[in-house]
Structure 1
Amino acid sequence: MDPNITLFSLVHLQSLDLSDNHFNHSQIPARIGDLSQLRHLNVSHFGETTFSGEVPTQISHLSNLLSLDFRSYIVAPLDNLLINHLQLKVSTLKSLIQNSTRLEQLRLNFVTISSSLPHTLTNLTSLQTLSFRQCELYGEFPIGIFSLVNLTSLNFARNQNLQGTLPASIGNLTNLAYLALGGNSFHGEIPQSLFRLENLVALDLTSNFFKGRLALDMFLKLRMLKDLDLSLNKLTLFSQNRTVNVTNLPPIQWLELSRCNLNGEIPTWIMNLTTLNLLNLHNNNLQGEIPYFLFKLENLTGLDLGANMLEGQIELGMLSQLQKLTYLGLGGGNKLSFVEGKNTTNVTFPPQIQSLELGSCNLVHFPNFIPHLQELTDLFIPLNSIKTIPSWIWNKTNSSEFGNFQQPVNRRNIPLDMQSTIPYIS
C-alpha cells in the first residue's frame, strides 16, 4: 500500500475496513497512526495477497479504538499448514493496550508475537472478543483474563507453549460463547464452574495436559453447545447414561473425544444428537458392538471409531445410510469384520468419501465399492488378509480422483475452515 495516498488525510475517519484486498505482501503504512479518530480498524486477510512484515508502532497512537482486527494467514497448499505473515512487537502491543483502553474487540489471530502475554491485558475491562490464535505465545496465561466479565469470545488456541490452569472464576464469564484454548500446555483439572456457562456454543480444550476423572454427561448441561473438543489430554471420561435427559440435549454438531480414556460402550444418548456432523471417538477403550443407532445419524460427515476394542460386523448396507460421509475410520485395535453382504446391487456407499481407514477389518480382498469412490484421496487398509491388488488400482493412482492408497489417513482430513471447533475467523 502506498503510504502517500490521500486516505491518510481523512483525519476524521472513524471506521476503516480494508479486509480481503490485494495488498500483495506490502507492509501496513506507518501513516495509519495519523487516523487518530479511528474507532474501528479491520485489515484482516486470509490468502496469498495478505499484508506482511511488521505492524508499525504507530498503531498504538489510535487511542480511540473500539475494535482492531489484524487476523492474517496464508495456507501452505501441500500440507494445509497456516503461515503467519504479520509480526507484532510486544512493545507495540503493550503500548496499544496502554493507550486504547476502551477496546472491545481485539483480534490478532496468526500475527506472530513470539512473547509472553502482557498482564496489562486484564486492564481492558470492556473487552468482548479477545483472539490470539497461533501467535507463538509462551509463558504463563494471565489468570486475570478470566475475570473480564464482558467476554463473549476467548481464543488462544495453537500457541503450544502457553500454559496455565482454568480457575474457578471462569464460571463468572456468563456471556462467554466461544472458548478456544486447544493446542497449548494448560494443565490441572477442569473446574466444575465451567458448567455454569449456559451461553457457551463452542469449547476447544484439545491437545493440552488437562487431567482428572470427569463425567462426559456434565457437558450436556451446556444447552447452547454445538462444538466440543476434549481430545488429546490426560482426562479420564466416563458416561453415566442413565442420568441424561435425552429430551433436552444441546444441539451438538462436532464431538471430538479422541484419546480421552473413555471406557465401556458408546454412550446411548449420542443417538439423540440428530444434528451431529462429526463424531471422533478414536483411540479410547470403547467395547462392544458398534450400535446401530450411529448409522441413523444421517448428518454425519466424519466418523472415527478406530483404535478401540469394538467388535462385530459392519455391513455395507449400514454405512450406505450415511450419505454425507467424507471421512470414515474403523481400523486399528478393533476386532471388526467388514462385510459387503450378499445383495449389494441397490446399495450405494457414500460417494463423496475422501478418506477411508479399514485397518484390521478382516478384509480378504479390496472392497468392490472402492472403484466408485470418485473423491477418494486417502486409503489405509493395513493388517488385513488381502493377497492380491486389483488392476484397477494402478489405473487410478495417477489421477486426481484416487491416490495415496498406501498412505495413512490424515484424521483431520477435513476442510481447513472446519479443522477446529472454533472457526478460524473468530
Structure 2
Amino acid sequence: MSPSILLPYIYGLDLSKNEFGNDQQFPISLQEMCNLRWLELNRTNVNRLPEFIGTLKSLEKLSLSHNNLRDVPFCLNNLTSLRSLSLRDNHVSHTQISARLFNNPDLSILDLSHNNLQAFPKDIENAKGLIVLNLSSNQIEQIPSHVFVSLFELVHLNLSDNKIDTLPAQMRRLTSLQVLILNNNPLIHAQLR
C-alpha cells in the first residue's frame, strides 16, 4: 500500500529532530493530512513554515519549540481549531506576532518562553480562552494593566526570568489563577493580595 493512501488518516505526527531548515525542505505530503490533530516539529532547525501549514484546519496542537523562527507565521491564523501552540526557544519578538492569532477562542495553551519578547504581545488580552500562558525567560519589563481584564480562564501564568519590577492591580481579576510563577524578576512593588 502506498504511504500517500494512508496520509489522510494520520491523527498525530512527530517530525522532531529532522533537519528542515526552511519551508522548501518540508515534506509536501503534510498538506494531504487533512485529519491531523497534532504536529510536533521541535528541533527541526526550521526558520520559516510553509504556507500550507495553515490549511491543516483540524490541527489542535502544534509544537515548534527549539527552532530558528523569528516571527509567528501568519499562516497560523488560519488554524481555527488550534488549542495548544508552543513556540518555546525560538527568536520571536513581540512585534512579530500577528494580533489575529489571539482571536482564536479555542487557543488555551500558549508557550512563548525563551524568546526575544520585550513586551507582552499586542492584543493577547483577546485570547479569552487561555488557560496556560508561559512567557518566561524573555526580556519583558512591564505588564500592561489592560492585559488581565479579560483573561478570566487563566489558571497557570509563568512570567519568571524577565525584567518585571511591578505587578498591575488588575491581576486581582484573575480569579481562576492557581499557579503564578514570578521567580527571577526584579520585583520591587509586588502586592499579592
Shorter-chain TM-score bucket reads 0.7 to 0.9
Cα contact 2:55–2:78 (8 A) shared by 1? no
Any stretches of 5+ residues in structure 2 without a counterpart?
none
Q: Which residue in 2 is equivalent to 1:195?
A: 125
If each structure's strand is expressed as a fraction of its own residues, which one has the higher value?
Answer: 1
User: Aligned partners of 1:146 and 1:257: how far apart in 2?
Assistant: 30
Cα contact 1:132–1:155 (8 A) shared by 2? yes
TM-score computed with the length of structure 2 as normaliser = 0.76
Per the TM alignment, residue 198 of structure 1 is displaced from its structure 2 partner at its CA by 2.7
Per the TM alignment, residue 199 of structure 1 is displaced from its structure 2 partner at its CA by 2.0
C-alpha change, 1:265 and 1:228, in structure 2 (3 Å) is closer
Note the 1:4-403 alignment, pairs <5 A.
11=1, 34-38=2-6, 62=7, 64-70=8-14, 86-90=17-21, 91-97=24-30, 99-100=31-32, 102-108=34-40, 110=42, 112-120=43-51, 121-134=53-66, 136-159=67-90, 161-163=91-93, 165-191=96-122, 193-215=123-145, 218-219=147-148, 221-240=150-169, 244=172, 249-252=175-178, 254-268=179-193
Amino acid of the structure 1 residue aligned with 2:176:
P
Cα contact 2:65–2:87 (8 A) shared by 1? yes
User: Aligned partners of 1:65 and 1:113: how far apart in 2?
Assistant: 24
Per the TM alignment, residue 230 of structure 1 is displaced from its structure 2 partner at its CA by 1.6
C-alpha change, 1:226 and 1:94, in structure 2 (3 Å) is same
**Deviation string for 1:200-228 (max 9, x for gaps)?**
1111111123454423x843742322211
C-alpha change, 1:181 and 1:188, in structure 2 (3 Å) is same
Secondary structure of the corresponding residue to residue 101 of structure 2:
helix
C-alpha change, 1:184 and 1:218, in structure 2 (3 Å) is closer
Per the TM alignment, residue 118 of structure 1 is displaced from its structure 2 partner at its CA by 1.7
**Deviation string for 1:75-106 (max 9, x for gaps)?**
xxxxxxxxxxx424345524234x32525423
Secondary structure of the corresponding residue to residue 5 of structure 2:
coil
Secondary structure of the corresponding residue to residue 65 of structure 2:
coil
Amino acid of the structure 2 residue aligned with 1:225:
L
How many residues align structurally?
189
C-alpha change, 1:119 and 1:37, in structure 2 (3 Å) is closer
Secondary structure of the corresponding residue to residue 209 of structure 1:
coil
C-alpha change, 1:257 and 1:265, in structure 2 (3 Å) is closer
User: Aligned partners of 2:141 and 2:73: how far apart in 1?
Assistant: 21
Cα contact 2:157–2:177 (8 A) shared by 1? no
C-alpha change, 1:114 and 1:240, in structure 2 (3 Å) is same
User: Aligned partners of 1:256 and 1:244: how far apart in 2?
Assistant: 15
Per the TM alignment, residue 129 of structure 1 is displaced from its structure 2 partner at its CA by 1.6
Provide the identity percentage: 20
Larger Rg, first or second structure (1 or 2): 1
Cα contact 2:160–2:183 (8 A) shared by 1? yes
User: Aligned partners of 1:260 and 1:119: how far apart in 2?
Assistant: 37
Amino acid of the structure 2 residue aligned with 1:69:
L
RMSD: 3.2
Any stretches of 5+ residues in structure 1 without a counterpart?
1-10, 12-33, 39-61, 73-85, 269-426
Secondary structure of the corresponding residue to residue 185 of structure 1:
coil
Per the TM alignment, residue 147 of structure 1 is displaced from its structure 2 partner at its CA by 4.5
User: Aligned partners of 2:101 and 2:166: how far apart in 1?
Assistant: 21
User: Aligned partners of 2:10 and 2:103: how far apart in 1?
Assistant: 23
Secondary structure of the corresponding residue to residue 255 of structure 1:
strand
